[in-house]
């Protein structure tokens, strides 16, 4: 019989085995290399849901982790977490050891301190489910148009680079005078055949240079600033960001986390360097005695509707409810925008593809019609 037991020393391992009435014949020390953990949203949903369900059913934390150790395909180190908890370490402290997102560990820490760990796990589950739903909504909205764009590029490349040159040889053998449109397409196909490799290399080099330039912090910050200022002028462009941040702020406030700590934790969650810098200014102003809403409005972080909601929330002492209202409002805008985009993009892309196909057909058929007319 063989097995694995965690311990800081051989004496600790022997003590654990003796407690279980096991006498080891041979002990071998195995050093596990630390590796960066990937806390994927789908795995976090599964982790929070199962733990929330098991603890809610009255099962102890250690027993619940024992039941989750054999979870297949998960990147979460269940065995390590179980051993840490078995030694008396708090769940939040154990998760923080393995690079778990700080928002998760803070919510759990607040739940452990207040005795509401089950409710905290439910909050984490709903937060990640909302995040996953938003991403899937955007991905599903752009998948079909992206497929049509790729298909269109491939079709045009094959048609201009390989199909049209075959017709060119036929027309040249028939000594047919080519219309300007057909001649231009044939010239483009010939050029693509001769210089296509160089074009591809040029595009790759340009892409690499652009990416390297964008990786510079000053360039990235400038780009993010321009993008944010552009988004701030259109409420529907801000909808995705506002849905995420309202949801996260609401959950953190509900967990009893102070406002300054909340701002510090969510500073990097905007997905925009300029917005993160603005939130840092908000935190500085609040620490100087200014109000939350006034600080947001002063640095122009958020939207006018969100500021109005938060101002009401500060006056009534119910920021959570106002953030929930903001979340519902922008979620509605996001749903309508995505639906409208799907309805518009599909016919637009199909129309473009149809126009390109019609152009190629006309370019090939026009010389034939001209030659038939000349013969008649």
pLDDT tens, position by position, 268-316: 889 899 999 999 999 999 999 999 999 999 999 999 999 999 999 999 9
Query: For residue range 330-341, what is the model confidence (pLDDT) as tens digits?
Result: 999 999 998 888
pLDDT at 11: 63
Which helix (H) or strand (E) covers residue 180, if one does?
A: helix 180-215
Mean pLDDT lowest among 13-22, 234-243, 348-357? 13-22
Query: For residue range 80-116, what is the model confidence (pLDDT) as tens digits?
Result: 898 888 888 999 999 988 888 888 888 898 888 888 8
What percentage of residues in the chain have a pLDDT greater than 70?
Answer: 88
pLDDT at 54: 92
Distance of alpha carbon 157 from alpha carbon 188, whole angstroms: 10
**Extents of the domains making up the chain:** 1-31, 36-100, 116-376
Terminal CA-to-CA distance of the chain, rounded, Å?
96
Query: For residue range 122-171, what is the model confidence (pLDDT) as tens digits?
Result: 989 988 898 888 888 888 888 888 888 888 888 877 877 777 777 777 77
CA–CA distances in Å: residue 136 to residues 256, 274, 299: 30, 25, 31
Entry pTM: 0.74
pLDDT at 376: 55
Distance of alpha carbon 190 from alpha carbon 186, whole angstroms: 6
DSSP string, 314-344: HHHT-HHHHHHHHHHHHHHHHHHHHHHHHHH
> Do 254 and 123 touch, CB atoms closer than 8 A?
yes
Contacts of 350 (CB under 8 A, 6+ apart): 148
């Amino acid at each position: 019989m063989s097995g694995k037991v965690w311990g800081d020393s051989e004496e600790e391992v022997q003590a654990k085995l003796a407690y279980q009435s096991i006498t080891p014949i041979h002990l071998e020390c195995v050093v596990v290399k630390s590796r960066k953990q990937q806390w994927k949203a789908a795995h976090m949903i599964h982790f929070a849901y199962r733990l929330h369900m098991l603890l809610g059913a009255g099962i102890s934390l250690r027993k619940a982790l024992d039941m989750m150790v054999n979870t297949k395909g998960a990147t979460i180190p269940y065995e390590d977490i179980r051993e840490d908890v078995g030694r008396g370490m708090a769940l939040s402290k154990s998760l923080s050891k393995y690079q778990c997102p700080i928002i998760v560990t803070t919510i759990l820490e607040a739940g452990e301190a207040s005795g509401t760990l089950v409710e905290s796990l439910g909050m984490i589950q709903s937060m990640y489910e909302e995040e996953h739903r938003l991403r899937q909504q955007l991905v599903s909205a752009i998948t079909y148009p992206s497929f049509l764009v790729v298909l269109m590029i491939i079709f045009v490349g094959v048609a201009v680079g390989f199909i049209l040159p075959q017709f060119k040889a036929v027309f040249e053998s028939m000594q047919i005078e080519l219309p300007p449109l057909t001649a231009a397409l044939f010239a483009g196909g010939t050029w693509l055949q001769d210089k296509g490799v160089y074009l591809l290399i040029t595009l790759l080099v340009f892409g690499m240079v652009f990416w390297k330039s964008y990786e510079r912090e000053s360039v990235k910050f400038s780009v993010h600033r321009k993008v944010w200022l552009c988004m701030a002028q259109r409420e529907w462009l801000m909808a995705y960001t506002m849905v995420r941040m309202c949801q996260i702020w609401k959950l953190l406030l509900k967990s009893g986390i102070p406002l300054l700590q909340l701002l510090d934790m969510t500073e990097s969650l905007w997905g925009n360097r300029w917005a993160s810098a603005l939130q840092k200014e908000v935190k500085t102003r609040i620490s100087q005695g200014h109000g939350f809403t006034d600080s947001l409005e002063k640095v122009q972080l958020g939207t006018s509707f969100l500021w109005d909601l938060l101002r009401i929330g500060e006056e009534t002492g119910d920021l959570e409810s106002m953030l929930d209202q903001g979340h519902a409002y922008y979620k509605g805008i996001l749903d309508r925008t995505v639906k409208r985009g799907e309805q518009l993009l599909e016919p637009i892309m199909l129309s473009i593809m149809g126009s390109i196909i019609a152009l190629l057909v006309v370019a090939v058929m026009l010389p034939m019609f001209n030659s038939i007319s000349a013969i008649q």
